[in-house]
Amino acid sequence: MKTYFRLLSYAKPIEKFAIPYIIVTLLAIIFNTLNLTLLVPLLQTLFSGDKTTAIAKASTATKPALTDLTATFNYYIHYMIDHYTAWATLQYVCAILVTSVILSNLFRYASQRIMENLRVHTLLNLRKAVFDNVMDLHLGYFNNERKGDIISKVASDVQVVQFSVTGTLQVVFKEPVQLIFYIVTLFLISTQLTVYSLLVIPISAFIISRIVKRLKSQAIAAQNSYANMISYLDEALSGIKIIKSFNASTFIKNRFNQENKRYSSISRSMAKRQQLASPVSETLGVAMIACIVLYGGYLILHNDSSGLNGAAFIGYIALFSQVTRPAKAISDAFSNIHSGIAAGERVLALIDEKPLIEDAADAIAITEFKEGIHFKNVSFAYGEKNVLSEINFSVPKGNTIALVGPSGGGKSTLMDLIPRFIDPNSGAIFIDDNNIKHITAHSLRSLIGLVNQESILFNDTIFNNIAFGKPDATMEQVEAAARIANAHNFILDTDQGYNTNIGDRGTKLSGGQRQRICIARAVLANPPIMLLDEATSALDTESEKLVQDALNNLMKNRTSLIIAHRLSTIQNADTIVVLEEGGIVEQGNHQQLMAANGLYRRLIDMQTFTS
């Protein structure tokens, strides 16, 4: 229940929905119960016969207590027939019945609309909370989690929570109250018959509860299996070229199909239990009514002192037949809440996942970069694996620093520390005189532009991809950025120019074109600090020259850190920092390091600069 109430907190302000819902639902229940109860006077009117006989005498009888519903109906029906006619009385009863039906359905519709608004409101808040927290998580979290599992939680699990948990809220109030109204009315018609009837109901409830007992564990298994399927699908679509080139389609198909079979098997098992509840409930309901017909018929046929007559008994049966509906709805709600709670626990776990990198309470916002970047005794480790050790160097404003070294030396990790994608285990990084831990993440990252080896683009127009992060950019500004990035000419050659959609992850463009779009995006942002991580390594010679020219334009009058593996990219850097096994082994410009005849010289000779 703790999980349920926490999920329900996303419905706040719940009183905005709960108060009007309670009011209209109560009115709907009252009139719905009245609809069935009015069958008694309707039948009494039809069975009344000639008013000149015993009915006339009944009209002068003592008025019964309201708690004796059968006698009360008898009294007023006989009174109406005595003073008017049976036909007039029938018209009167029918008019009341139609009015009651109209009002009950009107209030029922109003309650459903209010509940739907609550459901959508809850879904909006819950999905927003999940997605917002996912966007705030550190990069290490995404390295350890399947993307498909995250997608499943944000999309599928949240949807399950919406329908099962908020739907249960509706049932928890409406159906028990409706059940109480039915039972109270049954007692008013015949206490003796109702006591007998209630002895039978627990048997039905026990049998149904046994059917739905295992639904929670099955729901958890189904959600995990669905998450795996989404992960396999995402991996297959992302790596379709590799899969085909290695003739691995059969393996990928088998892996997906095996999980698909597992999910289908669990779904069938869950459906079997859920669907079994309805026929079992209906069969038990008919059996209960048969038992009540036998007992009620015995009371009437033997002129029992209960005061039950034929019309009241038929009305009683009609009313009792409806008791199983709210009882079944309550049972179904408790079975559905199992799957809702299971999904809710997964969603809340994602919300509770705390970002390792958060703004300090005293963090300041900076808007200007004045002096440089300073690394002071910086160390970092992934678990037990030491990646960086005691890194000390500075990047003066306006300088270009190249990071080189063997694969696994810590270059990319060092670069990830600057925008605080990760935080060092010890030591500190300063922007001017400010420890970056004391700078708000938003203002820190607004000073930094990033161009990766992998061109990260979105399924949108060229214009929107360049203007990403700066939605107020004008066409003139976007074109100017594209010219600097050597992208303007090829953009004009596309079908719709800057309004051309580039497809999923930019698949309609070549590698060099994608990279130049990314560079144009960085140019438009106009940051004072640029981080370039293997920006030309995956390109052919022609594309590399165009991109390198674009990068040279981008780095003008900026402070830049470059990771590169080609001599042409780094030899003009102001300082080259050589990393090996997490430590700095050499620093200097190209000529100095060549003269030192150390690791840098050996790497140049082998031309093996890798990230």
Domains of the chain by residue range: 10-352, 372-606
- CB-based contact 501:509 (threshold 8 Å): no
Find the DSSP H helices in 239-323: 240-245, 249-301, 310-321
- Which one has a higher pLDDT value, 322 or 518? 518
- CB-based contact 587:578 (threshold 8 Å): yes
Q: For 431-486, where are the alpha helices, taking DSSP H only?
A: 441-446, 462-466, 475-484
User: Residue 393, Cα to own-chain centre: how many angstroms?
Assistant: 44
Q: Which of 371, 404, 369, 410 is nearest to 391 (CA)?
A: 410
Whether cis (ω within 30° of 0) applies to the bond prior to 13 is yes
Higher pLDDT, 469 or 516: 516
| pLDDT greater than 60 at residue 60 | no
Distance CA 273, CA 343 (A): 19
Tens-digit pLDDT profile for residues 65-95: 666 666 677 777 777 777 777 788 778 888 8
Q: What is the mean pLDDT of residues 477-500?
A: 90
Map tokens 């109906």 to a residue. Answer: 73
Residue 410 is classified by DSSP as S
Question: What mean pLDDT value characterizes the chain?
Answer: 80
What does the pLDDT read at residue 512?
82
| pLDDT value, residue 500 | 92
Hey, which residues does 575 pair with through a beta bridge?
401
pLDDT at 213 over 80: no
Q: What are phi and psi of 586, to 5 degrees?
A: -155, 150
pLDDT for res 374: 94
Mean pLDDT of 51-73: 55
- Among candidate residues 573, 529, 569, 562, the one with its CA nearest the CA of residue 429: 529
Write the single-letter amino acid at 145. E
CA distance 228 to 242: 20
By C-alpha distance, which of 326, 53, 310, 338 is closest to 171?
326
pLDDT value for 394: 92
Evaluate if residue 377 carries a pLDDT over 70. Answer: yes
Give me the count of residues in the chain. Answer: 611
DSSP characters for 185-220?
HHHHH-HHHHHHHHTTHHHHHHHHHHHSTTHHHHHH
DSSP-assigned letters across all residues of 220-250: HHHHHHHHHHHHHHHHHHHTHHHHHHTT-HH
Superfamily of segment(s) 10-352 = ABC transporter type 1, transmembrane domain (1.20.1560.10)
Local structure of 581: helix, strand or coil: coil
The pLDDT assigned to 277 comes to: 65
10-352 and 372-606 share one fold: no
Characterize 460-496 residue by residue with b for buried, 16 or more Cβ atoms within 10 angstroms of its Cβ, and e for exposed.
ebbbbbbbbeeeebeeebbbbbbbbbbbbebbeebee
CB 4 within 8 A of CB 286: no
Q: For domain 372-606, give the CATH superfamily.
A: P-loop containing nucleotide triphosphate hydrolases (3.40.50.300)
